[in-house]
Amino acid sequence: MPKLAQRMSRAKPSTIMLIAEKARQLKAEGRDIISFSIGVPNFLPGPHVYQAVRDWLDKDSGSYGSNRGSADLLDAFLEHMKGVGLDGYTRENCAVAVGAKHILYNLAEALLDDGDEMAFPTPYWTSYLDIAEILGAKVKLLPCPPEQHYKLTPAQLDEALASKPKIFLFNNPSNPTGMVYTKEEIAALADVLVKHPDTWVVTDDIYNRMVFDGVGYHNFVQARPELRERVIFVDSMSKTYGMPGWRVGMMAGPKAVADAVVTLNSNHITNIPEVASVAAAAALSGPQDVPTEKRAEFAKRRDLVVDILNGIEGVKCPRPQGAFYAFPDISCAFGKSHNGKRLENDVDVCTALLEAKGVACVPGSAFGEPRGLRISYTCPADELEPGMQRIRDFFAELS
């Protein structure tokens, strides 16, 4: 048989998907499983989204759509951007693709030559590393341990950018930690970015509507408008509108970068499905009840999760202020045993937790921080407290 391309030896399936699949399998076998593993919003978009799709079906021309994205969707996205302080962008600055994951892949393809470096903080969202590896890019990891609340400091950024990585990839609010940078923290990082003109800044802000405690969402372009020529803002319909399966992601940035993504689209996909564009435009431009209600609900869930975690002896969980994840430091369990099984690391803890208590979480090493464990708290409401109690019981049973 002829060989697969060499790059496939570097490509691997997503760890999160593997764990979610294992949890699904155990559930299908009749086990009582509570899944805190995958970051799927457990809600649907508002009724106006489905109505817009029904109305559109009667008018569908069946034709190809625009490589950049439909005008309605681009305009709705531009309006949203104004709402988060990003004014002055036009359709030419934007492009739409099959989810933010596809946007990020397109950006990496458009901006990185072979061997170019991409720098990003750890813990990181797993696909950042996977995308870099598939494309043969070098990766510079910037460790942000629990002691610094998983946040990058200006000094770390300054040092990292001294070697002129081609891309600095930033994620705010963060998956997996739920951390949100304050206005002052963003301003301090933006001041550093200004000093390093050779680096593109890709800011993956897909949870920008999911911020709690009145901290607000802030970005580099607001802080230092001159960064507009190098910052690429990435957004998605998946999480905050309850639309992950519709596969719609967007970007806004310099026209040359948006045009590059459009060129890649024209070769890879032509356009995202028109029906998904219609749904996304309706969600962005219609009533915002769903993201607003969910934000309030997730803030309450966050309180429950973090309070239980921090009540466990030895576990430390910096308080997330956004997204729907908590990322406790569970290294206190390493070297201890559960039901006679010794737990050496985060994978052992997750495996034992799933086997003994039926709770699925993702080991922190999947995100580059092996002291952690990710809890996604989007499960059905009646599973949250029982699931967290099982975690508490598990730690109480360690010897």
Of the pair 122, 171, the CB lying nearest ligand PMP is at: 171
d(CA 352, CA 13): 22
What is the nearest approach in angstroms of ligand PMP to the Cβ of residue 237?
A: 7
CB 53 within 8 A of CB 276: no
What is the nearest approach in angstroms of ligand PMP to the Cβ of residue 55?
A: 25
Of the pair 249, 363, the CB lying nearest ligand PMP is at: 249
What is the nearest approach in angstroms of ligand PMP to the Cβ of residue 175?
A: 4
What is the nearest approach in angstroms of ligand PMP to the Cβ of residue 238?
A: 3
DSSP-derived secondary structure for 243-260: -GGG--EEEE--HHHHHH
d(CA 8, CA 24): 27
d(CA 9, CA 173): 32
**DSSP element (H, E) containing 356:** helix 346-357
Of the pair 17, 57, the CB lying nearest ligand PMP is at: 17
Of the pair 272, 398, the CB lying nearest ligand PMP is at: 272
What is the nearest approach in angstroms of ligand PMP to the Cβ of residue 344?
A: 28
What is the nearest approach in angstroms of ligand PMP to the Cβ of residue 243?
A: 9
CB 302 within 8 A of CB 215: no
Of the pair 178, 358, the CB lying nearest ligand PMP is at: 178
d(CA 290, CA 89): 26
CB 355 within 8 A of CB 110: no
What is the nearest approach in angstroms of ligand PMP to the Cβ of residue 392?
A: 26
Of the pair 122, 238, the CB lying nearest ligand PMP is at: 238
CA distances from 140 to 44, 130, 386 (A): 37, 13, 39
Q: Strand ranges (DSSP E) for the chain?
A: 34-35, 94-97, 117-122, 138-143, 167-171, 200-204, 231-236, 249-252, 325-326, 337-338, 341-342, 359-360, 362-363, 373-376
**DSSP element (H, E) containing 189:** helix 183-194
Of the pair 97, 388, the CB lying nearest ligand PMP is at: 97
Return the number of other C-beta atoms located less than 10 Å from residue 310's C-beta: 14
What is the nearest approach in angstroms of ligand PMP to the Cβ of residue 247?
A: 7
Residue nearest to ligand PMP (CB): 99
Sequence-separated (6 or more) residues with CB below 8 Å from residue 250: 69, 73, 77, 94, 95, 96, 97, 100, 103, 234, 235, 236
Binding residues vs ligand PMP (CB under 6 A): 39, 99-101, 125, 171, 175, 204, 206, 236, 238, 244, 249
Of the pair 185, 205, the CB lying nearest ligand PMP is at: 205
What is the nearest approach in angstroms of ligand PMP to the Cβ of residue 397?
A: 32
What is the nearest approach in angstroms of ligand PMP to the Cβ of residue 371?
A: 20
How many CA atoms lie less than 13 Å away from 343 in the CB half-sphere?
Answer: 28
Amino acid identity for residue 319 in this structure: R
What DSSP designation does 323 have?
T
Q: 319 φ, ψ to 5°?
A: -75, 115
Of the pair 238, 331, the CB lying nearest ligand PMP is at: 238
d(CA 273, CA 279): 10
d(CA 196, CA 242): 37
Of the pair 161, 206, the CB lying nearest ligand PMP is at: 206
d(CA 202, CA 261): 13
